[in-house]
Amino acid sequence: MNIFRKLKEMSILLIDDDEWIRDSLSILFEIEGCHSTALETAEEGMKELNGKIYDIIITDYRLPGMNGLEFFKKIKRSHPNAMEVLITAYRSNDVVSEAKRIGIQDFIEKPFTSKTIEESLCRLIENRKRDN
């Protein structure tokens, strides 16, 4: 599957306080012709999602203020169809258990590569196709 052909039809929200990760992923998505929005905090993400729909939401676990798990809990009702990815350098059993409990579909551990992101998004899209 050409993942970027599929992603061009979708909108992606990325939330990470690491400027390098935000910029790198934004450039990757832009080069491939994908629509993405990159933000620094979960609070900015909450504002962005007010009245907008994103197909894929990728957020870091450790953020200033609200963490990624809290963010996903808060948006679950308003954005139930979004595919969700949690990025973390802190993949403890507690984080994984809580993420699974609230329905986060995939995890990416830091450090990661663009190939890791592509594989994760490919899994999400393939799983979505199977479920529909």
Per-residue pLDDT of 79-132, as tens digits, reads 999 999 999 987 788 888 999 999 999 999 999 999 999 999 999 999 887 876
At 81, the amino acid letter reads N
Domain that holds residue 118: 3-131
Read off the pTM.
Answer: 0.94
The CATH number of residue 83's host domain is 3.40.50.2300
- How many distinct structural domains can be found in the chain? 1
